[in-house]
Amino acid sequence: MEYLLGDEWRSLRTAMETKPALRGLRLHRWTIEDDSQFANPAANLPDVPAVVNHLRSDDLYAIAHPALLPHFIKEQLGKPVPWMDDGFYIDVDSNLGKTIYHDAGAFYIQEPSAMAVASAVQARPGERVLDLCAAPGGKTTALARSLRGQGVLVANEIHPVRVTILAQNLERLGVPAVVVNESPERLAHAWPEYFDVVLVDAPCSGEGMFRKDDTARAEWTPDAPKVCALRQRDILRNAVQLVRPGGRLVYSTCTLNPIENEQVAAWAVQEFGLILQPLPDWPGWSSGRPEWADDNPDVALTRRLWPHLGEGEGHFVAAFRVPNQIELNPSTGLGAVQDVKPSNFDGGRRALVMDRRARGNRENGPSKKGRSAGNDQAVTMWYGLMDDLFTDHPAAWNTPVIRKGLLFEPAPPDLDTTGLKVLRTGVCLAELIGQRLGPHHSLAMAVNPGILRKRVELSADEATAYMAGNTLDRPTESGWNWLSTAGSIPVGWGKGVPGRVNNAYPRGLRRSGLLT
Ligand SMILES: C[S@@+](CC[C@H](N)C(=O)[O-])C[C@H]1O[C@@H](n2cnc3c(N)ncnc32)[C@H](O)[C@@H]1O
């Protein structure tokens, strides 16, 4: 970096060595945009169904809704992160991660520069979006919020342990995504050209995280950038095949060297004919450096977030449009990875023209696999449970997918998941406990409150007791009740019996002493 940056190197070094890493959060279930209308705390909270309708036309999830932010949260929000709606800086010592609001998925704690990535994706309601390297889920949850519950969201993570952390975070934030544990290559074969937009938030050498993360520093080696760049090119080769003609591909890293940044972006332009798209100039963002790659002037459309120029850690983002017809290099060759000192790319490329439009997408109905008499009985119980819980429900819930005693929302009808390692096809709706069927915690976190028959709003102290696993001593309607706090932020299910509410909060999630 000293060689590349010249005099500027000293500022970067000082920023990395002497300034603390910055922290941030994104409000997920609250939004600040309509906050003014709730300026008077005595004013009634908005009626939930009306709010949901305001945000969403015909879908049934309620990821974000305007509600009064508890004081405790509001006073810990610093200045807004300019490039992310409802993104804020928070104190480095903030204890917001130890609150009931955190465990209720009301916000996601995310490093401010990392928020740049979802903002560059610009997912729109109704789009088909794939987050290809998704764990632990920071970007997936932001993408979900942009989609407002409309469209298709698939989150993939190749690592078998990290994918479960991803699934847990998506459950907590009520994100109804399909979650898969696959290699990009297998997905490229399964879902060619299915997505409007694919995000590759690539595994990288992590140099941008050096002041935040000791492990990133400890694991770095001089070879890391080149090794990572080969992997990044491999992932991109598959990612490109997942995007529909004319769709978008966003590539990001949290590292500083150009081998994994400008040079990968320039390579993708050369290799696949991708077209770099402009990205905004938010305060502290700067252009990518064509001279650190192949001098393609379009590389200046990529964006760098430098720790010494902006308020956040180091990041790189490139947004591409995928052309209508794509040329793939038939060799397995991922191309030579350049040294830091740029050399010219080999322009002569052997082209294999794939007519992407000829292949089309495969249509298929819900899988019949795994249906048995026991499953039919579970579905009958599920219909009874739905009548008990809801006044209305999405049509897809009539055909749940049943696996290992759990009932899931089916995958979107044109997304064929046969043969793939799928953790969930959508929200987990219910679980068999012995001979009985109960609503799953994921459903409590994702459901639109407007369709529920029985709801109980808990005080902050009651929510703390509930999340620690306690029974609530208060009368309520008998049977399953949906419990919420802080103006319809979900906390889970409780079963009403005379004089009290029995606790159905999953044992693995219980925590004592959460703050309010
Ligand atoms: C930078 S992290 C993703 C962070 C995530 N997008 C977020 O915002 O929370 C990169 C991820 O890529 C995964 N990964 C590693 N090797 C991979 C490969 N060959 N193909 C796809 N993903 C890979 C890692 O396990 C890791 O979870």
Question: Got the DSSP string for 470-514?
Answer: PPB-S---SEEEEEEETTTEEEEEEEEETTEEEE-S-GGG--SS-
What are the residue numbers of the active site?
Answer: 254
Residue 80: C-alpha distances to residues 33, 85, 170 (Å): 12, 8, 24
Cβ of 159 less than 6 Å from ligand 1: yes
Residue 137 near ligand 1, beta carbon < 6 Å: yes
Residue 39 has what pLDDT? 45
pLDDT at 374: 80
Q: Hey, CA dihedral for 217, 220, 222, 228, is it positive or negative?
A: negative
What the block records as the tokens of 419 is: 């043969």
Q: Whose CA is nearest to atom 14 of ligand 1?
A: 203
Q: Is 207 in the pocket of ligand 1 (CB under 6 A)?
A: no
Indicate the fold that domain 113-357 takes in CATH: Rossmann fold (3.40.50)
Tokens of 456: 């109980």
Q: Read off the pTM.
A: 0.89
**Binding site listing for S-adenosyl-L-methionine:** 133-139, 157, 201
Would you say the CB of residue 209 lies under 6 angstroms from ligand 1? Answer: no
Residue nearest to atom 22 of ligand 1 (CA): 133
DSSP string computed for 146-215? HHTT-SEEEEE-SSTTHHHHHHHHHHHTT---EEE---HHHHHHHSTT-EEEEEEE-----GGGTTT-HH
Please tell me if the CB atom of residue 231 comes closer than 6 angstroms to any atom of ligand 1. yes
Ligand 1 atom closest to the CA of 137, numbered from 1: 9
Domain boundaries, the chain: 113-357, 366-453
**pLDDT of 328:** 62
Nearest CA to ligand 1 atom 24: 203
Pocket residue to mutate for ligand 1, from 158, 168, 254, most atoms within 8 A of Cβ = 158
Per the CB < 8 A criterion, the answer to whether 112 and 314 are in contact is no
CA 157 / ligand 1 centre spacing (Å): 6
Q: Quick one: pLDDT at residue 337?
A: 66
pLDDT at site 36: 54
- What's the complex ipTM? 0.99
pLDDT of residue 334: 52
Per-residue pLDDT of the chain (516 residues; tens, 9 = 90+): 999 999 999 999 999 999 999 999 999 988 776 555 444 433 443 443 333 333 333 344 456 666 778 888 989 999 999 999 899 999 999 999 999 999 999 999 999 999 999 999 999 988 999 999 999 999 999 999 998 888 999 999 999 999 999 999 999 999 999 999 999 999 999 999 999 999 999 999 999 999 999 999 999 999 999 999 999 999 999 999 999 999 999 999 999 999 999 999 999 999 999 999 999 999 999 999 999 999 999 999 999 999 999 999 999 999 999 998 766 655 444 556 665 443 332 222 222 223 333 333 333 334 444 456 689 999 999 999 999 999 988 888 999 999 999 999 999 999 999 999 999 999 999 999 989 999 999 999 999 888 999 999 999 999 999 999 999 999 999 999 999 999 889 999 999 999 999 999 999 999 999 999
Dist CA 183 CA 296 (whole Å): 31
> Omega of the bond prior to 136 within 30 degrees of 0, cis?
yes
Q: Cα(337) to centroid of ligand 1, in Å?
A: 20
- Cα 158 to ligand 1 centre (Å): 7
Of all protein residues, whose CA lies closest to atom 25 belonging to ligand 1?
A: 159
Q: How far is the CA of 203 from the centre of ligand 1 (A)?
A: 5
**Ligand 1 centre and the CA of 243: distance in Å?**
18
Ligand 1, pocket-test mutation among 109, 131, 133, 233, most atoms within 8 A of CB: 133
* Ligand 1 atom nearest to 254, measured from its CA: 1
